[in-house]
Chains A and B, each alone.
Chain A
Amino acid sequence: MIPAAFDYQVADSADAAIAALAEHGDDAKLLAGGHSLIPLMRFRLATPGVVVDIGRISDLSYINDGGDHVAIGAMTTHRALETSELLAVEAPLLRHVAGQVGDPQVRHRGTLGGSLAHGDPASDLPAALLAHGGSVVARSPGGEREIAATDFFTGFLETALGADEIITEIRIPKAAGVGWSYQKFNRRAQDWAIVGAAVMLGDDPKVALVNMGSAPMRHGGVEAGLAGGGGTDAAAVAGDDTDPPEDLNADVEYRKHLARVLVGRGIAEASG
């Protein structure tokens, strides 16, 4: 529970952070809210030589109306998301999911950018991004690019981000009036999901699953069923084409069962 030795730097702007990443390469890690990185360092599962603190970059924390989308700064905390009036109207799923993360302490420290960059299949917010069909804006010395959520999560704790890239913004297409639901199943109130399901109906229904594979994932089979008017019956295939982990809380069979139950409940609630 004691991290290995590391150097600590404070970046006062996104550019300074990018410069630090460019200088130290793989040996550097950005520190946002620290609520994923610091536990990993304490278990010595992560041993970065340099920690670049981006927690003081104030101009990366915002929730703005971007026309057809909501633009959210990477350093926006879960707490800011769950209390946003703009999100209440335009992206209520994301707002609700942010309120389901951990406990109030975690939500006051953890950031949207950090949660997405961490790429944990057990996290809630990646599923919300996927179900919203959002995107991530990343900046590097080479410039800025926008990465669709479906291209962003590439493997277990792996994303499309380059070693010298920093997330600056997250874009969520406006979804006012679209039926949605988030079903999170856990054993204690403040825990990660054993399985979670984010459902977004509308013209192009999207269903994202938590903890059902090595990366945050959308479920094409269920989405096809929904697009074909299957309603809650679409949930029957929610366990197919998944590769869930096995741990003390749940084995593969039980997780697949939970996926079917939760997706079914999600579709029912989103349709209601």
Chain B
Amino acid sequence: MTAVEDPIKTTAIGTSMKRREDPKLLAGESKYVDDIQVVGQLWMGMVRSPMAHARITSIDTSAAEVAEGVHSVLTGPQLQDMGLWIAPLPCAWPVTEDMVNPPHYPAAIDEVHHVGEIVAVVLADSRYGAVDAAEQVVVDYEPLDAVASVAAAQDGSVTAHSEHETNKAYHWPLVPDPDALEAAFANAVHTVKAEFVQQRLIPAAMEPRGVLAVPSPMGGDVTLYSATQVPHILKVMIAATTGIPESKIRVIAPAVGGGFGAKLNINPDEILAVTLANRLGRAVRWTESRSEAAFSTHQGRGQLQTIELAADADGKLQGVRVHVDADLGAYMMLLTPGVPLLGSFLYTGVYAVPAFGFTCDGYFTNLTPTDAYRGAGRPEASYAIERAMDILAAQVGIGPDEIRRRNYLAGGEYFENLEVPSTLVFDSGNYGPNLDRALELADYDGLRAEQARRRAAGESKQLGIGMVTYVEICGLAPSRALGGLSYGAGGWEHATVRLLPTGKAEVVSGSTPHGQGHETTWSQIVSDKLGIPPEDITVLHSDTAISPLGLDTYGSRSLAVGGVAIAAACDKVVEKAKQIAAHQMEASADDLEFAHGMFSVSGSPDQAMPIQAIAFGAFTAHDLPDGMEPNLQEQVTFDPTNFVFPFGTHVCTVEIDEDTGAVELLSYVAVDDCGNQVNPMIVEGQLHGGIVQGIAQALFEEACYDEDGNLTNPSLMDYLVPSAADVPSMVTDYTVTPSTSNPLGVKGAGEAGTISSAAAVMNAVVDALSPYGVVDMDMPATPQRVWRTINEAKGGQA
């Protein structure tokens, strides 16, 4: 036992360590699904419906079958007859007992319900050959009228599924106290009623989706490589859908290039690849093309919202009433029906509201299914309340900052464990100082002065200033809370931490990264907890054979649930190591201190042992306390008791060119609070990306459909994803209000940017146009739409 003079410095938590993932990514060495090649593989080529709603009358595969390199062509009915599956594709969230859930098979049997639905599959020995042969499959359709919007779905004269009598799938209410809500509106001095359209968005991750299913040469087992966020959930769902036992399925998510929710589904291609590989004994693969992705991967948003506010004479909220009509698309995918519900709890935002009510009707349409997309229900909610607050402020005649201050929970001061009317308990908040900091950084008073100057001078370029104080609900999730929402799984996360004989550590995490930098963050936590250098820590994940337990990455949950599990497992490792150290140092465990990787006896600093030596001792097991098991390996499955509630204030400034309608973002200030930060640089990166995704909804993106249900902008030429050149350099800062929901005091940061920024931008756009009496405008605020709005407001002259 020797004293270490210069203990290793391990204050990794809170430092912006460079991401250990990046060298491989930057050098192009990371392996994505499409990079993995297997001898003898067959490519799937999908024959997709060009119609939104039609009956299939015949399929002629004869030309395709004899095309060069084609192995076989299988139609929907043929696939069905092969008995490849025992259940339709799963929906894990039956939000009500009577929810309508039409069967959704990997390929259509007799009726297609959206453009892009798979009708037949070609298997060929090359990707190009598969696509060429798919073009030669001749399908005859009898067209049926399509339901191409929520309005058409509500009208109901046509149903998206011929066998249905209505397009309504469910009605979901959350009205804790209907009488109080009635009374709030009856007694209100000010009321606001606003309708907002959350247009459909195409997630467009950098890496398209892809699958590769490889059967074991020994037979019976199949390994699926998938560009997925959810290998663990996928494994369970493949087993449930195909009848293949879980023990014979291994799912690996290799490097995954972004997901944003679009890679958390159970997709037809995944089931087809696994079952066909299993049946044929050959590897089966598919990679979606960019324009195929617009149909073959779910879309986001798609809601019509009506929000009503009741306030007293001072603009203090008395009640909030919300109704959402959700465009579910053609089928219930994994989480489709639940996405609007994830937002339901947030329609009162950061405000003290005595009475609240929310209802949602879900509708089927003949469009690509919707499901989770960055923020999933919460950006929509945040948008509605934050836009409505601006409308209320104008009505009361006070500024947007003042209306917020008057209504903040706890008067804008620090609080913890506060129950809000949507029945949730917010972990902690401190909104006033956060707003102060944002206004200061934005030079809010200076901006208002410049705005007034331009208005007075009648300049053609007008300023608009928009602000948002958001709160979001993440760290999904307490399993019991999910049960209360009828969700079909829990919300825990698993971690195993091993200290190996050489003194290096191995962490096995059930959180599955797809770009977030989990390996870096996890190694920082473990480094601090065990007192060993980050480079001695290996993080294992994303392979169900290596990490059998896990619930993956979505809902800004990884750190607040998975990271906490890792920290707790480290604590257990240290606790066991301490028992060994006490035994070997002949001291009482109570007298031992542990810091920077060293166990020492209080009061006699010469007596010390590094944790690495203990790890070796635990391995040799020569001298362990009586009855103790060898090795240092501990596991924890952490199930949080509450969600986490990050918040922040964003201030956005736009300049509107009244001659062209062009909206230019001049500045964007974001002051976020996600509690304690493990790696501030990673938090910053998450916020930048998230903010731009919200800006994209406000100004650029919309999946446009014609009345027959055809997507009119399926390529990135027409679907405008903004790039770095289209957004300003952001100014970011943070307040730190630790969460009370977990011992690390952390909240989530992955979706916060998107949950706040669309409303900040649109508040700024409307603010710029307010002198013309404009109170609202639909997203995206395209130049044409802005120009037309100005013209109409000026009295109609074009």
Contact = CB atoms under 8 A, between A and B. Distances in A.
Contacts of B127: 2
B725 A188 contact: yes
List 6 A-B pairs, minimum CB-CB distance, nearest first. Answer: A1-B289, A189-B725, A2-B131, A254-B784, A261-B659, A188-B726
Nearest to A251: B784
A190 to B, nearest CB: 7
Interface stretch (B15-23, B82-90, B427-435, B712-720): B712-720
B722 A188 contact: yes
Contacts of A188: 700, 720, 722-723, 725-726
B718 A248 contact: yes
B788 A254 contact: yes
A5 B132 contact: yes
B295 interface: no
Contacts of A43: 291, 715
Nearest to B290: A1
Interface string B712-742: 1101011010110110000000000000000
Given A1-B290, A43-B715, 8 more contacts: A1-B291, A2-B131, A4-B132, A5-B132, A185-B662, A188-B726, A190-B723, A254-B784
Nearest to A3: B128
Contact of A257 (B712, B718, B787): B787
B704 interface: yes
A103 B131 CA distance: 30
B291 A249 contact: no
A248 B662 contact: no
Listed residue (B290, B700, B723, B784) with the most chain A CB atoms within 10 angstroms of its CB:
B784
Contact of B128 (A5, A187, A247): A5
Contacts of B788: 254
B57 interface: no
A107 to B, nearest CB: 14
A261 B660 contact: yes
A250 B784 contact: yes
Contacts of B725: 103, 188-190
Interface string B64-103: 0000000000000000000000000000000000000000
Give the most central of B289, B659, B662, B718: most A CB within 10 Å.
Answer: B659
Given A249-B782, A258-B660, A1 B292 contact: yes
A248 B722 CA distance: 16
B549 to A, nearest CB: 38
B713 A248 contact: yes
Interface in B236-275: none
Contacts of B36: none
A238 B651 CA distance: 39
Interface in B209-232: none
A253 interface: yes
A194 B662 CA distance: 12
Nearest to B291: A1
A247 B782 CA distance: 13
A39 B725 CA distance: 23
B510 interface: no
B782 A187 contact: yes
B798 interface: yes
25 contacts: A1-B290, A2-B289, A4-B132, A5-B128, A43-B291, A43-B715, A103-B725, A185-B660, A185-B662, A185-B783, A187-B700, A187-B783, A188-B700, A189-B723, A190-B725, A247-B718, A248-B713, A249-B782, A249-B783, A249-B784, A254-B784, A254-B788, A257-B787, A258-B660, A261-B659
Interface residues of B, number: 29
**Of B131, B718, B783, most A-chain CB atoms within 10 Å:** B783
Contacts of B704: 248
Contacts of B782: 187, 249
Nearest to A195: B660
Interface residues of A, number: 24
Interface in A181-237: 185, 187-191, 194
B712 A248 contact: yes
A240 to B, nearest CB: 15
A247 B706 CA distance: 12
Interface in A91-140: 103
Contacts of A251: 784
Nearest to A194: B783
B785 to A, nearest CB: 10
B782 to A, nearest CB: 7
Nearest to A1: B289
B796 to A, nearest CB: 13
A61 B659 CA distance: 41
Nearest to A262: B660
Contacts of B132: 2, 4-5
A261 B790 CA distance: 16
Contacts of B128: 2, 5
A261 B791 CA distance: 15
Nearest to B780: A187
A176 to B, nearest CB: 31
A39 B700 CA distance: 22
Contacts of A247: 718
B669 to A, nearest CB: 22
Nearest to B712: A248
Nearest to B129: A5
Contacts of A261: 659-660
Interface in A9-58: 39, 43
A257 B797 CA distance: 12
Contacts of A190: 723, 725
Interface in B557-602: none
Contacts of A2: 127-128, 131-132, 289
Contacts of B131: 2
A194 B717 CA distance: 12
B204 to A, nearest CB: 14
Interface in B260-314: 289-292
A5 B717 CA distance: 24
Nearest to B724: A189
Nearest to A255: B784
A257 B713 contact: no
A4 B704 CA distance: 27
A247 B132 CA distance: 30
A235 to B, nearest CB: 12
A253 B787 CA distance: 11
Contacts of B715: 43
A263 to B, nearest CB: 12
A254 B787 contact: yes
Contacts of B723: 188-190
Contacts of A39: 717
B686 to A, nearest CB: 23
Contacts of A253: 798
A254 B131 CA distance: 40
Interface string B491-507: 00000000000000000
A126 B713 CA distance: 26
